[in-house]
Structure 1
Amino acid sequence: MATIVYASVDGHTRKIAETIAGQLREAGAQVSLLPLADFDIEAFSRSGSRVSGPLIIGASIRYGVHCHKFDNWVIQHRAQLQSLGAVFFSVNLVARKAQKCSPDTNPYTRKFLQKTGWKPALAAVFAGRLNYPVYGFWDKLMIRFIMWMTGGPTDPAMDIEYTDWSAVAKFADASLAINANTSSIR
């Protein structure tokens, strides 16, 4: 069974996780999809679930960092994530720029992986969604300021989805392929 765990602020990371789940189901995999708060990695490790499908972890960036609970969770469970061959995707608006949409070129993902010491079996970065109408006053103000500084859109009525869905599909396929390769080695 493939397991997809996500940490989302405004719901777009969840949408990406749901899209990956749908693609894996179409490929014949059984999929468990749940928020990080509901995932028990200890039980998962004991169950042997890794043999039948990948463990995919996704999280979004806000103001340059993943939520601190996510960072701390990865640091706490880094050894398990390594041994399970977990894969990772990060979602952020900086990835809307072609030169910053890979784990090696995205400053937030590079910093996160360095900070946590985690070396996922596969990593990807997807551009997220800029949805000013759903942000509260302070978030809207701060995000507009950041966008102004980085040459992004600042119209408070804008709702733009930057996600490259074909890249998400390739990541889902690669996650299955990595799991198939590591399962045959065990």
Structure 2
Amino acid sequence: MKLLILYGTTEGQTRKIAHFMEVFFQNAGYQVTIADSTANPPSPKEFDAILIGSSIHMHKYHTAINHYIKKHVEDLNLMPGAFFSVSLAAASEMEEEHLEVQKITNEFLEQTGWKPLMTTQIAGALKYTEYDYFKRQFV
């Protein structure tokens, strides 16, 4: 089975998660292609299934992921697919934060028209030591 894993990342955590998935599915016997959404990703027509993931920043997913899904929504809705959302809120113990992230995901998928078979929330990473002075003060 040919699987495409497409991701959108800001600080690299979603890319790390996507590469972990790549190894997992390769070990399970899948032919896996992994692609950054900003680097001219392949059409989903070339694959049997797709995993799309993006981190959330400022209550929004990556623009390139949004454009890809809208461009290919008809094909995506005809194939097995899953969406993984990466955020710090997924690691929170506060139920309100989990509900907020799920609301953002549901609204995003409704707005794009994609109906994946599965969605999941995955905890992101806070790379505080890699932030510049101003970003650290803001956080």
TM-score by length of structure 1 reads 0.64
Partner of 2:108: 112
Partner of 1:19: 20
Evaluate the alpha carbon distance shift between residue 101 and residue 25 of structure 1 in structure 2; reply closer, same or farther with a 3 A threshold.
Answer: farther
User: Which protein shows a greater Rg?
Assistant: 1
Q: What is the distance in 1 between the residues matched to 2:70 and 2:134?
A: 30
Q: Are residue 76 (structure 1) and residue 76 (structure 2) matched?
A: no
The Cα of 1:129 is off from its aligned counterpart by 0.4
The Cα of 1:115 is off from its aligned counterpart by 2.0
Q: Aligned-pair RMSD on alpha carbons?
A: 2.2
Q: Are residue 66 (structure 1) and residue 61 (structure 2) matched?
A: yes
Segments of 5+ residues of structure 1 without an aligned counterpart are 145-186
Segments of 5+ residues of structure 2 without an aligned counterpart are none
Count of aligned positions = 135
Partner of 1:93: 88
Q: Quick one: which amino acid aligns to residue 66 of structure 2?
A: D
- Which one has the bigger helix percentage? 1
Map 1:133-172; keep pairs closer than 5 Å: 133-142=129-138, 144=139
Structure 1 contact 95–106 (Cα < 8 Å) conserved = no
1:39 to 38, 41, 56: 41
The Cα of 1:138 is off from its aligned counterpart by 4.6
Structure 2 contact 77–116 (Cα < 8 Å) conserved = yes
Percent identity, aligned pairs only, is: 28
Map 1:115-134; keep pairs closer than 5 Å: 115-134=111-130
Structure 2 contact 69–114 (Cα < 8 Å) conserved = yes
Q: What is the distance in 2 between the residues matched to 1:8 and 1:20?
A: 15
Q: What is the distance in 2 between the residues matched to 1:137 and 1:111?
A: 34
Structure 1 contact 101–126 (Cα < 8 Å) conserved = no
What's the CA shift string for 1:113-158, capped at 9, x where partnerless? 222222111111111001112234454344x1xxxxxxxxxxxxxx
Q: What is the distance in 1 between the residues matched to 2:76 and 2:135?
A: 32
Structure 2 contact 4–32 (Cα < 8 Å) conserved = yes
